Amino acid sequence: MKDIRVLVVDDSAVVRQVLAALLDAAPGIVVSHAVADPLLAIERMRGDWPDVIVLDIEMPRMDGITFLKRIMRERPTPVVICSTLTEKGAQTTMEAMAAGAVAIVTKPRLGLKQFLHDAAAELVHAVRAAARANPRRLVPVEKHTVDAMLPVAKAAPAMTRTTEQVVAIGASTGGTQALEQVLTALPGVAPGIVIVQHMPEKFTTAFAARLDSICRIAVKEAATNDRVIPGRALVAPGGKHLLLHRTGAQYVVEVADGPLVNRHRPSVDVLFRSVARCAGANALGIIMTGMGDDGATGLLDMRKAGARTLAQDEASCVVYGMPKEAVKRGGVERSVALEGIAKEIVQVIRGGS
């Protein structure tokens, strides 16, 4: 297989030097260019288009998001965001993910050089995952209202239904865009949803807030003892596992520390297994785009417990890794295109299969 050609775009000379050295040292990866801003990047790319771009956000002459949007319009290319971890930066990075970036690697303002060395494995993993992305799925899709799929029904109070139906969703690379497409297509009375999206600590707060601002359902970063109720989705905080528990007729979540599971915290397997144990046939499990196998075991647990289980199909995935592994292990009843997942969730309201 040919080497993955990487373009690094960052206004810090130290970052460019360290990233280039770390990536060049990884087997199968070659840094073609390392430049200080997007305008220089555009010049280099005219004659030497990279396989993956590692991109900072705050830069002179042109910011990273403007550059990212331009790339996605002209020639969709996998982009890994490597940005400073601040509250403002987190929100900005969420905008970048919505514009088509496939992964985030956070960097601190202090101790940057040492951090980049310590995070070498994460950086390499992110670049390799990005290189496997399907460029056709990186471009943000046209957004339709739920009316395009489900006609407006007479208003009904969300709390008229019980909390016995639970939808559990797991995603990784490409999941931020995919989840946005699914959740914005849901009506306000959608069943209660619990979500694990592989994402670093603190970024999930901004991610949930952004979804909440554009969805009919409420979306929030999960906290221990939050109830799973119709019309709301709970997103696992970065750096914490999310588990489902049953208290009487109600479902609540627990946000917990613990070891990395499948190299992740939060882990989709942890969520899915907890759903299998306490919700069983009252649940729907959905595994979406992502690299690796996190969630495959848990989804099989859910299916054995009587839950309905779905996987995003290969054609609509940015990376067909997690769904593929779940299918291979026998945990998936059906594979569904991304555009059809919201309809499957709506069927839970109607008691359909």
Question: In 3-state terms, the chain is what percent helix, strand and coil (to 5)?
Answer: 40, 25, 35
- Distance CA(231)–CA(220), nearest Å, equals 11
Residue 172 is among the residues annotated as catalytic for this protein: yes
The one catalytic residue among 10, 33, 83, 172: 172
CA distances from 283 to 21, 29, 127, 210, 327 (A): 47, 42, 35, 26, 18
CATH architecture, range 4-137: 3-Layer(aba) Sandwich (3.40)
Rg of the chain over CA atoms, in angstroms?
A: 20
What would the pLDDT profile of 49-58 be if each residue is shown by its tens digit? 999 999 998 8
Q: Which CATH number fits domain 146-350: 3.40.50.300, 3.40.50.450, 3.40.50.180, 2.60.40.1180?
A: 3.40.50.180
As a whole number of angstroms, the distance between CA 187 and CA 146 comes to 6
Measured between its terminal Cα atoms, the distance across the chain in Å is 43
φ, ψ of residue 60 to 5 degrees: the values are -75, 160
Q: Is the dihedral of CA 261, 299, 240, 164 positive or negative?
A: negative
pTM of the shown model: 0.72
- Fold match between domain 4-137 and domain 146-350: yes
The catalytic residue among 226, 294, 301, 313 is 294
Q: Which of 10, 37, 51, 198 is catalytic?
A: 198
Contact 243, 253 (CB under 8 A): yes
pLDDT of residue 90: 66
Q: Dump pLDDT digits (tens) for 126-163.
A: 899 889 888 767 665 544 332 332 233 333 333 333 44
Give the whole-angstrom CA distance, residue 261 versus residue 236: 14
For the chain, 353 residues long, the average pLDDT of each consecutive 10-residue run is: 92 90 93 94 92 90 89 90 64 76 76 74 88 74 35 35 76 93 94 94 89 96 96 95 89 91 90 93 95 93 94 95 96 97 84 54
Can you give the residue ranges of every domain in the chain? 4-137, 146-350
Distance CA 240, CA 265 (A): 5
Q: What's the one-letter identity of residue 346?
A: V
Residue 237, both tokens: 């905080």
Distance CA 258, CA 237 (A): 13
Residue 125 annotated to the active site? no
